[in-house]
Structure formats: C-alpha cells, structure tokens
Amino acid sequence: MARDSLIGGALWEEYSLEVQRRMNEPTNMGEITEAQKGDNELIIADFGAESCGDAVRLYWLIDPKTDTIVSSKFKSFGCGTAIASSDMMAELCMSKTVDEALKITNIDVEKALRDEPDIPAVPGQKMHCSVMAYDVIKKAASIYKGVDMESLESEFIICECARVSQDTLIEVIKLNKLTTLEEITDYTKAGGFCKSCIKPGGHERKDIYLVDLLLEVKEAKEAEEKSRKIIEAKGDGTFLSMGLVQKIKAVESILEEYIRPTLKADGGNVELMDIQDNGGVFEVLIKYQGECMSCSMNTTTTLAGIEDMLKFKLKAPLKVIVS
C-alpha cells in the first residue's frame, strides 16, 4: 500500500511502522479452544465500539492458582488500526495477573505501538480503537471475577481516548489553575486524540465536554472569590472577621450598654481610643474620664471588669490597656 494512501480518512504515513506491521502481520491473532486450556481457566470476552462498528474478541488462559494470564489471543472484526491495537493489547496482557492487566490503559497500548516516544502511533481520530482494546480487557476481567463490567470502572470517564475521569480533570484544573483547553491537554492528554471530548460537534457525542468542566471550575472559583469578598466586607458575625470600623462599633456598643452606666453613676466615664492587633491579640486602648481618672481601682478592678465583659461578649482574644 502506498504511504500516501488514505485509511479511514487518515494518511497512511500518520501510522507508525509498528502499527503498519501489526496491521499486516499480527502476532497474537487467533483463538484458544477448550481443548487447549488444560488446568487453566478459559475466558472469552467480546466487546464492540458503537462509534465505528468495530468489535474484538479476547481469549485468556488464566492459571486459577495465581490469577496469571498464561496465554492471550484475539480476533478483531474491524479496521487495521483495531487489529494492531488488539494485537498489542493481547501482548501486554501476557504473564500479568488479571488485576495487573486491568491497569493497562489505551494510552499504554498506543504508546507501545509508537516508533518514537513523542510521536503518536495513530492519528487522533483512530484513538478509539485502542480504547476498545482497553474495554475488552475490562470485560474479560469482569467475567473472570464474576462481577459487572461497570463495577470495574469507578469513575466517570470524560476523555475515552486518554481514559481521563471527570474528577481527575477537575482536580488538575483547580490545582494547576488551568484556564485553557490547550493547558488541559498538555497536563492530562484529554482532548489530544479524537478531540470529541473538547466541545460539541466532534467525532462522537458526549454528555459532558472539557469546555463544560473548564466553565464549571471557573464559575466555582468566581463564586468562591465573590463569597470571600463579601465576608471580608461584611464579616461573618465574629469579631475576628470584622473590619476596624466594625470592631470599634462593637466595642463601643458594649461599653455603652454595660460599662458606662456604672462609671457615670460615680461621676466617671471611659473613652475608646483605638483597637490594635498585636500578634493575634486585640489591644483595646481606653482613656478614663471624670472621677475615674483619680480612682485607685482604674488600673485593677475596673480595668479587669471592662476586659472580662468585652471578652465574654465578643468571644475574642482581647487586652484592655489604659492609654
């Protein structure tokens, strides 16, 4: 086949030499029969991709004593990329335990098919073929374990090509303060292949797109920032959250209601001069007036009474100081 010919809309030269080789001469294509299983357990799993109509059948021979896959074969009913991906997938499963095989991702399959570490093995729109290889592993494992296939997928996958979940994407966007789709792809590979998950109108329809997640995180951040500013401006009702003017008003109201009536009855008074934050302790500076100025208790009993009342009412670390 000429290197510039088209396969599924993609140029032949977009496929790695390893993919081309496995398309034409797959190493692990075939089947395993009951007659071949011996003391091992034979698992046969089928999985089809609705997006393209391709399907793959996976054969595993598993040693039940160790859960190790001693032989792995496949049959592919689809395009050349599906054959190459399935061939590599079957090879990667060999000699692994079932749980280890479950950790094989479609990215692992695609990377194993590369000629160069930084050059994709297949064009982006064909990445779904390696996803199918990943899914049939999950199907085979579910049969062996006797569980539903869905139970082996604990997260909601947004990017099927890179197998990146919604929770992972949101966490990465938040932690790294990502603001563009390009940054998301750089950090997670999501959206870097068939691009269907980026926004509506791509190769496949999605329930949630990367643009939705980016907007969701942005709106949540804006709401959090707005709430923070409101708290800073209005306070949350505690003395610690109040601005200086609010603190002065709070102290003044307590002095007026609980302290001044007693002092005025004896011909004295107290004036609030300032409130200062000294390492987390708020120093309330006051000045006595009238008879209180010469009273012997103005720095002992009276001062302690004012401080105790302010602490009790404001629930804050306070120290009253005569200025």
CATH code, domain carrying 18: 3.90.1010.10
Q: How many domains are contained in the chain? A: 3
Q: How much is the pLDDT for 3?
A: 36
Same domain for 131 and 172? no
Q: What is the pLDDT along the chain (323 residues), one digit of tens a residue?
A: 333 444 555 566 789 999 999 999 999 999 999 999 999 999 999 987 655 567 899 999 999 999 999 999 999 887 888 899 999 999 999 999 999 999 888 778 888 999 998 888 887 667 667 777 778 999 999 999 999 987 887 668 898 787 788 887 898 898 788 999 999 988 878 898 888 999 998 878 889 999 999 999 999 989 888 776 655 554 456 888 888 888 999 999 999 999 999 999 889 999 999 999 998 899 999 999 998 888 888 788 889 999 999 999 999 999 999 98
Q: What is the pLDDT of residue 101?
A: 94
Whether residue 102 sits in one domain with residue 47: yes
Question: Do residues 149 and 6 share a domain?
Answer: yes
Token pair 């999985």: residue: 47
- Do 63 and 185 have their domain in common? no
pLDDT at 123: 78
Does one domain contain both 192 and 140?
no
Alpha-helical runs (H) found in the chain: 17-24, 80-93, 98-102, 106-112, 128-145, 166-176, 181-188, 210-234, 244-254, 260-265, 301-314
Q: Which of 207, 234, 261 is the last residue of a domain?
A: 234
The pair phi, psi for residue 265, each rounded to 5°, is -65, -25
Q: Are residues 139 and 179 in the same domain?
A: no
Q: Are residues 182 and 200 in the same domain?
A: yes
Residues 55 and 172 placed together within one structural domain of the fold: no
pLDDT reported for residue 50: 54
Measured N-to-C along each axis, helices 128-145 and 80-93 cross at an angle, to the nearest 10 degrees, of 40
Same domain, 148 and 160: no
Query: Residue 277: which domain range?
Result: 239-322
Which one from 93, 129, 194, 292 is the annotated catalytic residue?
A: 129
Residues 128 and 5 in one domain: yes
Predicted local distance difference test score (pLDDT) of residue 297:
81
Same-domain status, 121 and 177: no
**52 in active site:** yes
Residue 48 to residue 78: CA distance in whole angstroms: 10
Asked if 197 is an active-site residue, the reply is no
